[in-house]
Amino acid sequence: MDGWVVGIDLGGTKTALGLISPDNRVVAHRRMPTNADEGPSSVVERIAHLVADLEAEVPGGERVAALGICCPGPVNHETGTLLKLVNLPGLSNTPLRQLLAERLNLPVRLEHDAKAAALGDFYFGAGRGHRSMVYVVIGTGVGAAIILNGRLYYGETNASGEVGHVSVDPDGELCHCGTPGCLETFTSGPSLVRRYRRALQEAGAPIDEPTITGEQITHLAAQGDPIAARLMEQSGRALGIAIASMAMILNIELYVIGGSVAKAGDLLLEPARQTVPKYCFKATAQHVQIKASELGDDGPILGCGWLARHAS
């Protein structure tokens, strides 16, 4: 489908909407607090209001032709339903696609946010020209989406891509999922914060920043703070071990890293690149490419735009 579409990235705290031109550029943005606790009808109404607002910016009075929306999982992409959402309990078990389609009288596609972001980079960013890739999102949590021969791979029970809960250290700290040494315990924003505070305590240093975030730790590492730099190095190595395992199992060559922690760029990715050859066959490691997402916050929106164009 050509024409103008809207991509919507519905998150735990805020929701971002983008108006996408026929040549797949995000030409206008809108943002709103998600406020999921107000319930589905409030969220749908506020989204509908902003979609109308974006539509007013389409030149020549053309209409928006379709919507794509993504949210933190789990979702049923076939029925367009949100399942039990830990971060958005107010929207659990909501048939969001149907509600939006009825309210706006438009075709709508719903997808998991990591999968939408993967589609964005696959078609319009770091994955252009590739047949297969794995997109790893590192933010509050860690997850992945696998694109195999041009198609998202969902797994037998729609549970593929949980690389954040693959162990990279059997003696590591216990993850909230119950497994020791999950990748997420090394790389997620909250894990970086926990590790940073613990390292300060061990060094006997005062914790003068009670509300430090993962993003701030990234900035500190870039400025040469030794504790923050060591943590990013550790995170990158853990990511490298996980990528080596995926490369050995899947024989996929391109790994695109997105999400807020991935904004650390080479501080995170370079240790990962150096670690991969230590944990897989040389012949496999030679072909592994680890790249940062090229689309940043617009990745999920552009992926939703692609889905919207393929809505039936």
Give residues in contact with Zn ion (CB under 5 A). 165, 175, 177, 179, 182
The percent of the chain in helix, strand and coil, each rounded to the nearest 5, is 45, 20, 35
What is the 3-state secondary structure of 267-300? Answer: HHHHHHHHHHHHCCCHHHHCCCEEEECCCCCHHH
Element (H, E) at 200: helix 189-202
Nearer to Zn ion, 10 or 182 (CB): 182
Rounded alpha-carbon distances, angstroms, from residue 221 to 63, 189, 212, 235: 46, 14, 13, 12
DSSP single-letter state for residue 171: T
Nearer to Zn ion, 34 or 187 (CB): 187
Q: How far is the CB of 86 from Zn ion (least distance, A)?
A: 13
User: 50-73 as b/e, with b when 16 or more CB fall inside 10 Å?
Assistant: bbeebbeebeeeeebbbbbbbbbb
Nearer to Zn ion, 163 or 269 (CB): 163
What is the 3-state secondary structure of 2-41? Answer: CCEEEEEEECCCEEEEEEECCCCCEEEEEEEECCHHHCHH
Nearer to Zn ion, 95 or 172 (CB): 172
| Among 267, 271, 269, 273, CA closest to 228 | 267
Nearer to Zn ion, 162 or 294 (CB): 162
Q: How far is the CB of 31 from Zn ion (least distance, A)?
A: 31
Q: How far is the CB of 93 from Zn ion (least distance, A)?
A: 24
Q: How far is the CB of 84 from Zn ion (least distance, A)?
A: 18
Amino acid (one-letter) located at 153: Y
Structure tokens at 299: 């990745």
Nearer to Zn ion, 94 or 185 (CB): 185
Structure tokens at 112: 């998991």
Nearer to Zn ion, 65 or 175 (CB): 175
Q: How far is the CB of 184 from Zn ion (least distance, A)?
A: 5
Look at residue 260 and give its three-state secondary structure: coil
Structure tokens at 154: 């969902």
The CA distance from 185 to 142, in Å, is 9
Q: How far is the CB of 265 from Zn ion (least distance, A)?
A: 25
Nearer to Zn ion, 192 or 292 (CB): 192
Q: How far is the CB of 189 from Zn ion (least distance, A)?
A: 15
**DSSP strand pairing (151-153 vs 81-82):** unpaired
Q: How far is the CB of 243 from Zn ion (least distance, A)?
A: 17
